[in-house]
Structure 1
């Protein structure tokens, strides 16, 4: 497929998603056959649907049986990333008629530029789709990498930052747990929060995928739970992870409150604290975190990923060796986990306390000592990145 200059289709020609389905489905099936986790496949399918829609409107093509040239990937970036102009305004190259068509077709949430992370994710999906097909990856072109790097710098200079989720380190975790006093719901939420956090910073898909048969008790203070297929391990071989102390006790309490021989470990609750048989959804895990944070009166941008980033940050803070942390989280990339880990370890580093204890600024507003694990550490933890 040869593509040169973008061609805008007439706005009167509507985008019919049914016409995109075959190519998108075929592309998604390639990920499935490669053993990609189900949640990741859904994310990839959404990105590929967007690529098909944009290509159809921009060039009159959809994803097909041929690789895309690097110029198309460059055009995608220019169409979707806003750049600052000399007069202080921002602009991007996506024609308004195409923007409206994408929103109307419900493949785009709203008019305007996309976030940097969204564009990066869609380029990553396109690159993986090419690799699975044995094609040259257009996203590896030096010109595209330079463009992305310069775009990130330009946005950073203008104060546009990557949105980051607040990490749940020890203090906010304790605050969340303190709200879990509302009957069976509180018992369930406490067990879920502690398993997800203490059990290695589990992803929400991993938490809701756990079955009753995946957990077993060793003693009063020790349980093991087994992970199967995950985002980073698609082999399906079960690996057991430990739950100790409060986490083990919380899990035991939940299984007493909601006994079951099989089925999902964490289930939905209905009126009157009746425990259902249906597993919680991944979105419900996020809502549990957000609800508990609201009840605790905590400010921040909370999500299910806050448990994962918080576990790693707290591990760095307490000096746990990186290898032990990665054995629990099952991160494959040291680069990914180091952003969290270093943020935590530097909070109590001697290098951050070379001047000694911070002097009191005024009698009315005393400052905590440097290295204190109180509110100042909690605020600093909010800077951790949500990259996984």
Structure 2
């Protein structure tokens, strides 16, 4: 069907009521609305990480140059940022360019957690955030400069050559995880933590943001202690599309723990996991940071030593699946990973120890 565009016009009266826009230029109101949608579409964790990185950029820039950070940031400043924070090999050992006085100032003001060079992944992330900021502001992006890109690539290679691997959170596989669960008593807080930990671990290692966002409306009881949970929003499904693989089972001890928590809390709608106040009163929805705090607290109570976080539940699930030789396809269906390379990267050394190929020399001949 043909449409005559010349005839599809609005009336003169409507034009007076609604002034025409310039199609080659975005109005200020539309630009504000677009920015708001971009912010709303980002996860809370991503936005928090962006804000933290930009605050650090501003503090470092002010300390180094004695003036506020403005866009576009000059290329030399980006290069200075890299050499200030990335370690290089010298005859006296590893050093970075950041002056000790500036380092101390950034720590004292709360912009850095501790003295010394950060992990290289932190440097890369902060460069990426600055790059994104320039893109959104339609400014010339210094992070795309050839010299900046080459310096980052060669620095990454230098770290790899000296064996400085990216630090990963330790995996909470079956034994330490069970020790954590044993610390959860029959109090309301204990039932909540047990249900929360099992929900996160048994459904494929849910991220802390996914646990915090879990709602009763997405939980369906199949039998008294058997549930199905629909994951409506995740890192790989941010558009909220309906997909069969996003339905996760809660069975066995995980289903029993969920049933006990719902019965004890009386929750029938809204957030699934909430703060428990003194006197056993339910409070607001748990934040993602609170989920991480629960994991660390239960690790401490169980005497589980190591650098664990909420993400350790996810890596622990995959590690345990590898240790028990579970099919990779089924493991990926539970975790939600879309690439084999990504999920294999979660397998820890503990899973490799139980592999038959590791004992090839000692294995009896068939």
Category of TM-score, reference length = shorter chain: 0.7 to 0.9
SS state at 1:241 partner: strand
Q: 1:347 aligns with which of 348, 353, 361?
A: 353
Check conservation: 2:39, 2:47, Cα contact below 8 A.
Answer: no
Task: Determine whether 1:196 maps to 2:200.
Answer: yes
After the TM superposition, which residues 32-43 of structure 1 pair with which residues of structure 2 at under 5 Å, given as runs?
Answer: 32-33=38-39, 35-43=41-49
Q: Give the match for residue 361 of structure 1.
A: none
Check conservation: 1:204, 1:285, Cα contact below 8 A.
Answer: yes
Runs of at least 5 residues in structure 2 that lack an aligned partner in the other structure: 1-31
Q: In 2, Cα distance between the equivalents of 1:330 and 1:141?
A: 36
C-alpha displacement at 1:296, in angstroms?
2.4
Pick which of 279-288 and 123-132 moved more.
Answer: 123-132
Q: Give the match for residue 250 of structure 1.
A: 257
Q: TM-score, normalised by structure 2?
A: 0.77
Q: Give the match for residue 87 of structure 1.
A: 92
Superimposed CA distance per residue, residues 175-230 of structure 1 (whole angstroms, 9 cap, x where no aligned partner): 22222235222221111111000111111111111122221111245311232333
Task: Determine whether 1:213 maps to 2:217.
Answer: yes
- 1:112/1:215 CA distance change after superposition, 3 Å: same
Superimposed CA distance per residue, residues 319-342 of structure 1 (whole angstroms, 9 cap, x where no aligned partner): 334343333323355543321137
C-alpha displacement at 1:142, in angstroms?
6.1
C-alpha displacement at 1:159, in angstroms?
6.8
Task: Determine whether 1:330 maps to 2:336.
Answer: yes
**Pairwise CA RMSD of aligned residues?**
3.2
Task: Determine whether 1:279 maps to 2:285.
Answer: yes
Task: Determine whether 1:77 maps to 2:82.
Answer: yes
- 1:182/1:101 CA distance change after superposition, 3 Å: same
Q: Give the match for residue 269 of structure 2.
A: 262
Superimposed CA distance per residue, residues 332-365 of structure 1 (whole angstroms, 9 cap, x where no aligned partner): 555433211375653332221112279xxxxxxx
Task: Determine whether 1:235 maps to 2:242.
Answer: no
C-alpha displacement at 1:131, in angstroms?
4.7
Check conservation: 1:208, 1:282, Cα contact below 8 A.
Answer: yes
Q: In 2, Cα distance between the equivalents of 1:357 and 1:175?
A: 32
Q: In 1, Cα distance between the equivalents of 2:100 and 2:155?
A: 21
Q: Which has the larger radius of gyration?
A: 2
Pick which of 150-159 and 183-192 moved more.
Answer: 150-159
Runs of at least 5 residues in structure 1 that lack an aligned partner in the other structure: 1-25, 359-388
Q: How many residues align?
A: 328
Superimposed CA distance per residue, residues 144-169 of structure 1 (whole angstroms, 9 cap, x where no aligned partner): 45544554555566675543321011
Check conservation: 2:219, 2:227, Cα contact below 8 A.
Answer: yes
